[in-house]
Amino acid sequence: MKHRITFIPGDGVGPELSDAAKRCIEAAAAAAGVEIEWDVFDAGIDVIEKYGTPLPEHVLASIKKNKVAIKGPITTPIGTGIRSVNVELRRALELYACLRPCRLYKGVRTRYDKVDIVIVRENTEDLYAGVEFDPNTPDCKKVIENINSLSKKQIRLDSAISIKPISKFGTERVVRFAFEYALKNNRKKVTCVHKANIMKATDGLFLATAREVAERYAGKIAFEDRLVDNLCMQLVQRPEEYDMLVFPNLYGDIVSDLCAGLVGGLGVAPGANIGDDAAVFEATHGSAPKYKGMNKVNPTALILSGVLMLRHIGEDKAAERLENAVKRVISDGKYVTYDLKAERNDPTAVGTREMAEAIIKAL
């Protein structure tokens, strides 16, 4: 079968990782009799001069048409006022569920024996909604005065304000996504993570809504909840006790990196942003600018994002073939990048390109 997919190479280490991942995905697809055609488009700071925006309309239009995209990481410059392309993509396409499977592969350097956790993070609300007010501006003062007139708690007038909206609608759909994923992928338990003891309004609503959704799956998928601080300690001590985790946006972002650390680091942590009408697949890590152009970083995270993408478009055979090839190369331990070697400065570590070639050979 033929699929047309939008490809955004990204910046920093993005282009070299994208090249490696694209070749692996194409080879696995071809071996399984699947044809993929790419619509390749750039986004990020490098296209601002040409299009006046880091996320040109034609890139969004391509993803809307193809319904599936894969992207390399894109840098978000700090202190320039330029909004993150990654956050903007999720907002513009309503990609409300961020999916991050954290599975430990044999041969990866880690302190654990068994980790197989799937993270589902709400992607559009919470402190990432982008509703913010800089300190000492007229708008910020107005917001503070309004809040001070409505609340017994008083906010200092020289404060900056970031708003944390969490809705029943937004929570309902992301928790439903987690349970549906659990059903389809033979997972047994969903844990809702929150801080409802302190943020009774926002996290309280997230937990209450999750409990309501969980009732619809009673008898099929188990449900429990944890405070986020307690969960972090337990994940470090006993990660094998967790199956699927569902989070509001901010905790999900932070705990995703914690779980990536449990399974060998950002170099092996894939991800996907999924909505009702489109899905964008990308690694958990960023553009690692200090390694740009060095053919050094690990392509596994983006290749495994490609595995998630192949499953999403129904090409399970190609997905399994690619995942098994990645497993073989990692457990063999020879043609792997520096981060997968026992010593980070092991001179036998190979580059991005060479690891991808080994994966293609192992297909």
Token pair for 40 = 């390749």
Choose the binding region for ligand NAD from 113-121, 134-142, 167-175, 286-294 (rule: CB under 6 A).
Answer: 286-294
Point out the catalytic residue in the list 105, 128, 181, 242.
Answer: 128
Point out the catalytic residue in the list 22, 71, 195, 296.
Answer: 195
Of 47 and 196, the one with the shorter C-beta distance to ligand NAD is 47
Token pair for 237 = 């001590």
CB 271 to ligand NAD: min, Å: 8
Choose the binding region for ligand NAD from 151-159, 183-191, 226-234, 287-295 (rule: CB under 6 A).
Answer: 287-295
Torsion, Cα of 44, 47, 48, 53 (10° steps) = -70
Of 315 and 339, the one with the shorter C-beta distance to ligand NAD is 339
Task: Look up residue 201 and give its DSSP letter.
Answer: T
The H-assigned helical ranges of the chain are 14-31, 48-51, 57-66, 85-92, 138-150, 168-184, 202-215, 228-237, 249-262, 300-312, 316-332, 352-361
Of 59 and 140, the one with the shorter C-beta distance to ligand NAD is 59
d(CA 344, CA 265): 12
CB atoms within 10 A of CB 1: 11
CB 82 to ligand NAD: min, Å: 10
Q: What is the contact mask toward ligand NAD in residues 55 to 84, using x (rule: CB under 6 A)?
A: ------------------xxxx--------
Q: By CB under 6 A, is residue 355 in contact with ligand NAD?
A: no
d(CA 56, CA 237): 45
The footprint of ligand NAD (CB under 6 A) covers 73-76, 86, 266-267, 282, 285-290, 297-298, 301, 339
- Tell me which residues are annotated as active site: 128, 195, 229, 253
